[in-house]
Amino acid sequence: MPMAARQVNAGLGTLQWILTAGAVYLAVDTTLLRPPLPRPRLTAADQAAIDESGPAEVGPSLDSLESIWRRDLRQTLVEPPPVATPKPQAPPPPPPVRLPQLRATFVERARAWGIFVDDHGQVRVRAAGGRIDDFEIVSIDAHVALLRRGGETHEVAVPKADVPQAIRTGHKGGR
């Protein structure tokens, strides 16, 4: 190590020792060597008033602190947020009624039939008064059927695209 670096290290070590000694001196001087503060002198009248009334209470009485002593210190320090009460919700609407599809109707004077497609995709021919799925077939008219399930009545119609137009032939009857 060069000579200048040794001198700087020695100077810093000496400075550190002096600062430590000064700090110890100040700590001892301020706490141990300082005399206690003088007590205030009471007049005879003040002393007599203290003797008659007893020692003066400083601060709150012990009875007023009882609620603090009885407090459960194991509980959380922060109040939890209030629990939100769920609002009653209206029941969901019932699922839409799945009606059988009406594809065609055959109406004669005494009887009427309908060609229906049920929930399973099966094609069924049913007469008025019969049943398709859970529905009772009340009546069948040209291109329309009236169905009943429970107390509800539903009308199903043949889709407009499936309604045939009148067929005209050139045949006038006979030969």
Q: What pLDDT tens digit does each residue of the chain (175 aa) get?
A: 677 788 888 888 888 889 898 888 777 766 666 666 777 777 777 777 777 666 556 677 777 778 877 877 777 777 878 888 888 888 888 888 788 999 999 888 888 999 999 888 899 999 999 999 889 999 999 889 999 998 889 999 988 876 665 445 455 554 4
Supply the CATH number for residue 137's domain.
2.30.30
Backbone angles phi, psi at 145, to 5 degrees: -130, 145
Its pTM surpasses 0.85: no
Q: For 90, which DSSP code?
A: P
Query: How many domains does the chain fold into?
Result: 2
Nearest to 130 by CA among 145, 150, 143: 145
Structure tokens at 54: 């007893």
Q: Is residue 4 part of a domain?
A: yes
Domain containing 20 equals 1-31
Q: Report the first-to-last Cα separation within the chain, whole angstroms.
A: 141
∠ CA(61), CA(62), CA(65), 5° rounding? 100
Q: Is residue 144 part of a domain?
A: yes
Q: Is residue 110 part of a domain?
A: yes
Rounded Cα distance between 135 and 147, Å, is 6
